[in-house]
Structure 1
Amino acid sequence: MTARPSAGLVLDDIDARPGSTTSLLRTLIGLYLRPLGGRITPAALVRLAGDLGIPAARARTAITRLKQRGLLVAAPDGDYVLNPAALPMLERGDRRIFAVRTMTEADEWMLVSATVPETRRDLRHQLRRRLQFVGAGAVSAGLWILPGHLAEEVEQLLAELDARAFTTLFRTTDPKPADPLPAAAARWWDLAALRAEHERFQASLGDLDETQPFDAYVRLIDSWRVLPYIDPGLPRSLLPDDWPGERSVQEFARMSSELAPRALAHARGAVR
């Protein structure tokens, strides 16, 4: 088995573009390799890609990219297996994707204060991107706020980036900005961009063919999986009255429960 790649190669899908061949294959692998025993033959993986309408040549190209990104490694017998270094990322994704959590008024907030030396601009950039990706809001340069229930995830993120020495973490239940908290939240998070992502997801549901459960389910997850990261699940009192997040969660839960068992049965049958 190949050596573990550097941490940056197996981090979350910050650059994921839902619907692309590489994104669909990554979603497929994240969903099914673990329940299928952690390995799959190249032929079976290409066959499952074909069930998503992906031509074999394009699938093989995407699989090569995923090997380069550290998600898959080639076993001595030629099978593809999950890179152990990618498992924390996949497990973190499971929690975000399938167990969406919304803050209440009584929940704690976490503040992340980061002081990264000028000589480590690369780390500063990575830390900013990763914190944004896990749903943190930018209070000011070097100060971030996010739901307290993400504390473990933040600790893991800082460890993966080797950035813990440059950060201080705080907990509070009562942040007091100069203006009302809803107005401050609208500055800390780009609510317009988050709204657009919810609307994109909801529009994508109309393209799913539920008579083809495997294709529909993989595309459902692929369209959804980044949204629970970038949307922190703010308390309802901090959001506009017409906020679309609740509808997105409800629609995802409904379609996932209907499609998931049939899609897994299809995947199991395809690799026998």
Structure 2
Amino acid sequence: MSEILDDMDSRPGSTTSLLRTIVGIYVRELGGWVSVADLLELMDALGVPDPRTRTAIVRVKKKGLLVPETRDRVAGYRLVDEAVPMLARGDRRVYYPRSMSADSAWCLVSFSIPEENRHLRHQLRRRLHWIGCGTVSPALWICPAYLLEEVEEILAELEVREHATVFVTERPRVAGPLAAAVAQWWDLDEIRGHHEQFLTEHGPDGARAMDAVISPREAFSIYIRSIDTWRIVPYIDPGLPADLLPPDWPGDDSSALLHTLRARFSGLATDFVSQVTGTRIDNPGRDAIRPLSGSARP
């Protein structure tokens, strides 16, 4: 189920990706249900016209994230139960990215999947890549030990646990500098590119955050687009030790920008969602939800 729900292939900035970002941040806080009209209005704040949003809703529904449900004669969508733990795991990744120190433990994943199940081999490699694992060889992957639980979940969900051996170990020993090996195991240029894209696209918003007067609607647009760009970064970047990365690595700068944007815009963005839906949300991640006075919405 997680492979269907964890749609990492949606391009950040696309209509489908923006819709998923809104769903991921707010629908749990709305009691797990949102009306079609409210989704259309929220997407309109991002400059997305209704026809494109409706198409994206269909795509997200096909991915198994939402199911149609009418409440009090209002058409809407309910978040599927299986999505809740996936989104909670995503919260931890997106908002609280972890990083290794020089003495942190590592995880090695060795597998040998029979040829008749080569489609599972492809899925396993794809999903290991999307949680930040590096490739030592086609059948030997490496990651920080704090990703062990996610590795085990992937192996169990694909039903290939019997074909894999997982090791937790100290820092690997290689013939040359470990930093050189790390640069072969991970595509550091790709990871750097995502960090730099986030800094380039949203750095100006961070500069404005200090003293600009911004409406809740504008803050919502800035916040959703920034999280939508950022959400890929903590998945493909496993948080490698600083001594194994290039000295000009942009990871700290992009993380600092994320914190700046969240501090400045997330509260106003939540206010806008509360206004649109008629449901007061204190803060994403909290359970307190109460109807706005005079609201007739479910």
Per the TM superposition, whether the score is higher than 0.5 is yes
Q: Which residue of 2 aligns with 1:53?
A: 47
TM alignment of 1:71-220, pairs within 5 A: 71-77=65-71, 78-206=75-203, 208=205, 211=214, 212-220=218-226
Match of 1:26 among 1, 8, 20: 20
- The alpha-carbon distance between structure 1 residues 186 and 59, as it changes in their structure 2 partners (threshold 3 A), is same
Q: Which residue of 1 aligns with 2:4?
A: 9
Q: Which residue of 1 aligns with 2:58?
A: 64
Task: Note the C-alpha offset of 1:256.
Answer: 1.1
Q: Percent identity?
A: 48
Larger Rg: 2
Task: Please tell me whether residue 222 in structure 1 is matched to residue 217 in structure 2.
Answer: no
Q: Show structure 1 runs of 4+ deviating over 4 A.
A: 206-210
Q: Matched residues in 1 for 2:3 and 2:149: separation?
A: 19
Task: Please tell me whether residue 239 in structure 1 is matched to residue 240 in structure 2.
Answer: no
Task: Please tell me whether residue 254 in structure 1 is matched to residue 232 in structure 2.
Answer: no
Q: Matched residues in 2 for 1:56 and 1:174: separation?
A: 52
Q: Secondary structure at the match of 1:111?
A: strand
Task: Note the C-alpha offset of 1:163.
Answer: 2.1
Aligned 8 A contact 1:27 1:222 in 2: yes
Task: Note the C-alpha offset of 1:153.
Answer: 1.3
Aligned 8 A contact 1:217 1:256 in 2: yes
Task: Note the C-alpha offset of 1:242.
Answer: 0.5
The size of the alignment, in residue pairs, is 266
- Alignment gaps of 5+ in structure 1: 1-5
Q: Matched residues in 2 for 1:226 and 1:8: separation?
A: 15
TM-score, length of structure 1 as denominator length: 0.94
Q: In structure 2, what residue type is equivalent to 1:214? A: F
Q: Secondary structure at the match of 1:53?
A: coil
Match of 2:37 among 36, 43, 61: 43
TM-score, length of structure 2 as denominator length: 0.86
Task: Note the C-alpha offset of 1:167.
Answer: 1.0
Q: In structure 1, what residue type is equivalent to 2:16? A: T
Q: Which residue of 2 aligns with 1:3?
A: none
Aligned 8 A contact 1:36 1:268 in 2: no
Q: In structure 2, what residue type is equivalent to 1:9? A: I
- The alpha-carbon distance between structure 1 residues 124 and 249, as it changes in their structure 2 partners (threshold 3 A), is same
Q: Matched residues in 2 for 1:202 and 1:161: separation?
A: 36
Aligned 8 A contact 2:101 2:241 in 1: yes
Q: In structure 2, what residue type is equivalent to 1:246? A: D
Aligned 8 A contact 1:14 1:130 in 2: no
Q: Secondary structure at the match of 2:30?
A: coil
- Alignment gaps of 5+ in structure 2: 279-298
